[in-house]
Amino acid sequence: MPFDCVSCGACCAYSASWPVFIGAGEAAGIPEELIDFEHGRMLCHGNRCAALTGEIGSRAQCSVYANRPLVCREFQAGSEDCLMVRRSFGLPAA
Ligand code: SF4
Ligand code: SF4
């Protein structure tokens, strides 16, 4: 793991359109109050996913980690998108 996601969390607060449900049954196990049913994705406050707890760049955690959407599972630490997001939050990206 090139970066420690537990001390980051930036990708969970970058865009409200990112934590979207792309497959059937993706919302299973996620509390209803954390779901944006209208848009078929996680509820976000601004760009920050409502399931994210803690502080970006310090200590962050996904409160629905075991049931998180597929796009969240597939997001790769150290990928170009990861580095771009980290930079946008002023976090080291190298
Ligand atoms: S931006 Fe990268 S390092 Fe930060 S939590 Fe997401 S995948 Fe992990
Ligand atoms: S569901 Fe979890 S992993 Fe996905 S964006 Fe929200 S906090 Fe991040």
76-85 pLDDT per residue, tens: 999 999 999 9
pLDDT of 19-77, one tens digit each? 999 999 999 999 999 999 999 999 999 999 999 999 999 999 999 999 999 999 999 99
Q: Are 51 and 34 in contact (CB under 8 A)?
A: yes
Cα(82) to ligand 1 centroid in Å equals 5
- List the chain domain ranges: 5-88
- Closest ligand relative to 1 C-alpha: 1
CA dist 11 and 72 (Å) reads 9
- 79 Rama class: left (phi>0) / alpha (psi -120 to 50) / beta: beta
CA dist 3 and 11 (Å) reads 12
pTM value surpassing 0.85: yes
Atom number, ligand 1, closest to the C-alpha of residue 9: 5
Cα(49) to ligand 2 centroid in Å equals 6
Cα(62) to ligand 2 centroid in Å equals 5
CA dist 6 and 83 (Å) reads 15
